[in-house]
């Protein structure tokens, strides 16, 4: 199975929270932590990674907070996962072909590489805007 980290799960939830903010104002980590029931300290670590990857922008000060650096339509789930957890779990030969002396003649490596490509393509095809749509539908049902 694919291992999606808690960091990735929380990052997506937090970014949806920012994107859905009523007037696109800055959103504080404290606000997100409270609404999403996530540790503030853990969110700070996640947001440092998101900021480093230019997914969010921050403003300091008493009325500071975070906003998206790109529109939800431009921000892919692949971008988010790559920022907070790196590549999804793959055999080491996919991430580093030099790690195995059988790389050039290994049939299973080709299988895992194809699998990785499908997963990456899927994640690159899904945007934060689409995930926001899922949240909006769930709110209508709940």
Residues 6+ away with beta carbon under 8 Å from 70? 55
Range from 2-6, 38-42, 76-80 carrying the lowest mean pLDDT: 2-6
Count of other CB atoms within 10 angstroms of residue 94:
19
- Is 6-141 CATH 1.10.10.10? yes
pLDDT for the residue 141: 42
Helices (H), the chain: 6-19, 29-36, 40-52, 77-84, 92-95, 107-125, 128-141
**pLDDT tens digits along 65-115:** 999 999 999 999 999 999 999 877 677 767 677 777 776 777 787 888 888
Domain ranges of the chain: 6-141
Answer yes or no: is pLDDT of 142 > 50: no
What is the reported pTM? 0.84
């Amino acid at each position: 199975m694919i291992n999606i980290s808690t960091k990735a799960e929380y990052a997506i939830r937090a970014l949806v929270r920012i994107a859905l903010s009523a007037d696109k104002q800055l959103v504080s980590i404290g606000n997100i932590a409270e609404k999403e029931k996530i540790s503030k300290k853990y969110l700070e670590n996640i947001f440092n990674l998101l900021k480093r990857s230019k997914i969010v922008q921050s403003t300091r000060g008493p009325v500071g907070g975070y906003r998206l650096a790109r529109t939800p339509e431009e921000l892919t789930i692949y971008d988010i996962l790559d920022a907070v957890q790196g590549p999804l779990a793959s055999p080491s030969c996919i991430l580093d072909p030099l790690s195995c002396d059988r790389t050039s003649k290994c049939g299973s490596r080709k299988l895992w590489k194809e699998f990785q490509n499908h997963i990456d393509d899927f994640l690159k095809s899904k945007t934060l805007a689409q995930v926001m749509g899922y949240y909006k539908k769930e709110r209508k049902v709940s």
